[in-house]
Chain A
Amino acid sequence: MNKPVIALFPEASFGSALNCVGIAQQLQRQGAMPVFICHQGFTGVFDEYGFKEYQLPASPKATSQRTEETWQAFINAHLEHFNQDPTTQLQTYVRPTWDAIVDSAIHAEKGLESLIKRIRPDAFVLDNVIMFPAIANAGVPWTRVVSCAETEIPDPAVPPYLSGMAADDPERGHFEAAYLEATAPAHRRYNAFRRRRGLAALPPGRFLETSPHLNLLLAPEAVRYQRQHPLPEDLFVFLEGCVREEAQFDPPPLPVNDEPIIYLSFGSLGAIDTELIGRMIEVFATFPARFFVNVGGFIESYQKVPDNVYLGSWFPQPSIVAQADLFIHHGGNNSFCEALYYGVPSLIMPYCWDGHDNGLRAAQTGTGIHMQRDTWTPEQLCDAMLTLLHDKSLRERMLRISRHMTKANGASMAASSILRALGQ
């Protein structure tokens, strides 16, 4: 019998891409043939893990020089927006981002359609925030992976998506209205595109429907919301995180080498803010710990690195988080889930998207501390790190969460659920 071909299509972000690697590793182990559909720029990333890749055709306009110029313009425009509150960001960051997402979906459609004819998959795994009509129209089951925070699936008892507020916040109505207003132009264009491709329009503010076959959510029990309308168990599976198997990381010896390990990563986008990371490194120099700091593509911006700090452009995150005593991150859902999976407390400094939601959720559930990225003092940063390193009851709670999550093995559960939905 032929192995079922499962085409995984993550959005062009490291969180989704590597989350899908974890699922693909388990699909392969359970007898399927996972392949990846990838955006330009991600070619080779999945091949390194041993998976076949199909790249979406590149736009003829997309030269490397043009991409670099776009990124420089993005950095110039958005760096200051990273310090804004979620409501203000709706106009400055969320609105243009949805515009760009819709553009990318429209652009991808034709190439995706012809790729699907080539691959002829038995099923899709879509880890994205928008539907690509070519997938809905392909005539095979598709699984939606919600690798963002649980807030992506709305409910009256769950905070509004990207709001960073509590579910019962008195400003909720105001935020929801502002979100709809900010996303309306992109939404109108997207719905028109859907209709042209034979799909029904979606309600305001929604860009991706739930799958009629299977929906997977990363949200672990420890941080999950009590929903007013529980999600039907036959269609929604909570994975308890979804951690991939990754290369072993051997922490290099530092001149100061006998203190707890603190890992900092704000993701490849957060690494743009070298001023913030530079300020933090100045504080780290005074703190009794070893710091491993992901500075992404900006390592050349740093000089005179303290003896207890090590900078890297890339870390195999699951391996270093497993060895860390504290994880400072931006609230990206994969980072948050990996911290929980390995029982490591989080110090979250969000700058956009669902990082705001996870920052608040970490504080609400006692799994970490939520800190504004631009208003802290060195004393406050040190106090937060000391609290998270030395709170015994927090340690015990984190260990319990870790035991529960590792036992559940979310990546394996994802693979078996996908194959079950396929009737395998």
Chain B
Amino acid sequence: MMRTRSNTRQNHLKLARRIIEVALERGMNRGDHLPETTLSEACGVSRTPIRSALKLLESNDIVLRREEGGYFLNHSPEEIGINGISRLDDMEGSLAARILSDRAERRITDVQSVSALVRRYNVPRSAVLNALKILSIDGVVAQLPGRAWAFQPLLDTPNALAESLSFRLALEPQAITAPGFDMDSQKAGLLRQQMEDFLRRRDGSMSSVEFLHLDCAFHSLIAESSGNRFVCGALLAHQRLRLTTQKDHSIPDFRLRQSLEEHLDILDSLERMQHQLAADQMVLHLRRSQIRKPQAVNRGLLPLARKGMA
């Protein structure tokens, strides 16, 4: 029973995310009406699940319901683009998100029993099992023989970040150059607009957390456009892991802007079908994204470099 309710909720969340995408694709603004019929046609589902998804969006303050008037957008497209989707991501399997966040912040160890998680979160055993199943889909946890579950490596330390970048350096250029690369131009256009909006912000107001969402969205788009299905699957799972567990992403504003401009340059090359150039630009972009601060320094000593520094 719990499993069925959970699946229904997951579907409503997916639909809610799709509604946001439709609103953004159509250039809707704060206060614009969201007709159920239009959304039903755009999403290819009946009006009943659309209504449930709109209720979810309403409970998250993303849309507003007016008596006899239906649902209306309650935020500007920029706010919805980044914050709205991330809020929905947070909701999705919130126990799974809490478990993952606690592991990434080293509150729980890398091997856990279901009973220990039941005690820590004070939730039914079935809820813990469901959360672990959600996490296991992306390979974040794996069941050991017996009742324990083991976490796989997360992006929670500078060393893990360095390994993540090496992994991406090996695969992301391949994702672009593999035969069959095909990018959804509507998604690319939307992402371009969000990045350009972000670039227009003044220094000191560019949130690193919001940047991480944009960054993962860009690299996920590259992954899902790849003609190589294995590269696509591995990179998409890795980007989901980055989004939920990557720490220490405070980046100086200059580098943050430069990084977004590099994304835009890669999109330019892809739109011109210059795939090899885009792959080369990706190598440069990822190399520049390495953590460059030394691990430890002291007067008179050579600074201790971080692992993986090029």
Interface residues, chain A, CB within 8 Å of chain B? 11-14, 39-45, 47-50, 62, 64, 67-68, 70-71, 74, 97-104, 129, 245-250, 252, 255, 268-269, 271-272, 296-297, 299-300, 302-307, 310-316, 319, 353
Within 8 A of A (CB), among B231-275: 247-248, 250-256, 258
Within 8 A of A (CB), among B282-310: 290-306
* Contact of B208 with A247 in the complex, beta carbons under 8 Å: yes
Given A305-B106, A316-B250, A13 and B298 touching (CB < 8 A)? yes
> In the complex, what residues of B have CB within 8 A of residue A68's CB?
304
Give CA–CA (A177, B215) in the complex, Å.
58
- Whether a CB of chain A sits under 8 angstroms from the CB of B182 is no
* Contact of A62 with B302 in the complex, beta carbons under 8 Å: yes
Given A48-B292, A245-B204, A300-B159, A41 and B250 touching (CB < 8 A)? no
Q: Count residues of chain B with CB under 8 A from any CB of chain A.
A: 45
Give CA–CA (A47, B291) in the complex, Å.
12
Q: Which of B247, B251, B256 has the most CB of A within 10 A?
A: B247
Give CA–CA (A246, B250) in the complex, Å.
9
* Contact of A315 with B250 in the complex, beta carbons under 8 Å: yes
Which 4 A-B pairs rank lowest in CB-CB distance, beginning with the nearest? A100-B300, A41-B303, A44-B292, A297-B295
* Contact of B107 with A306 in the complex, beta carbons under 8 Å: yes
Give CA–CA (A39, B156) in the complex, Å.
28
> In the complex, what residues of B have CB within 8 A of residue A101's CB?
299-300
The residue of chain B having its C-beta at the shortest distance from the C-beta of A75 within the complex is: B296
Given A47-B292, A250-B208, A311-B105, A14 and B297 touching (CB < 8 A)? yes
> In the complex, what residues of B have CB within 8 A of residue A100's CB?
299-301
* Contact of A297 with B303 in the complex, beta carbons under 8 Å: no
Give CA–CA (A268, B298) in the complex, Å.
8
The residue of chain B having its C-beta at the shortest distance from the C-beta of A299 within the complex is: B157
Known: A100-B300, A297-B296, A302-B106. 20 other contacts (CB 8 A): A14-B297, A39-B303, A48-B252, A48-B255, A67-B303, A98-B300, A245-B203, A245-B204, A247-B250, A247-B251, A247-B256, A248-B208, A250-B207, A255-B102, A300-B159, A304-B109, A305-B106, A313-B248, A314-B291, A316-B250
- Whether a CB of chain A sits under 8 angstroms from the CB of B134 is no
> In the complex, what residues of A have CB within 8 A of residue B290's CB?
44
* Contact of B303 with A40 in the complex, beta carbons under 8 Å: yes
Given A41-B302, A247-B253, A268 and B107 touching (CB < 8 A)? no
* Contact of B294 with A304 in the complex, beta carbons under 8 Å: no
* Contact of A268 with B297 in the complex, beta carbons under 8 Å: yes
Given A40-B302, A303-B109, A248 and B204 touching (CB < 8 A)? yes
* Contact of B295 with A268 in the complex, beta carbons under 8 Å: yes
* Contact of B106 with A304 in the complex, beta carbons under 8 Å: yes
* Contact of A12 with B107 in the complex, beta carbons under 8 Å: no
CB distance from A80 to the nearest CB of B (A): 16
* Contact of A248 with B205 in the complex, beta carbons under 8 Å: yes
Which among A12, A302, A304 is the interface contact of B299 at CB below 8 angstroms?
Answer: A12
Give CA–CA (A12, B300) in the complex, Å.
8
Q: Which of A13, A98, A247, A316 has the most CB of B within 10 A?
A: A247
> In the complex, what residues of A have CB within 8 A of residue B49's CB?
none
* Contact of B298 with A269 in the complex, beta carbons under 8 Å: yes
Give CA–CA (A307, B102) in the complex, Å.
8
6 contacts between A and B (CB under 8 A): A48-B292, A50-B258, A252-B105, A299-B106, A312-B248, A314-B250
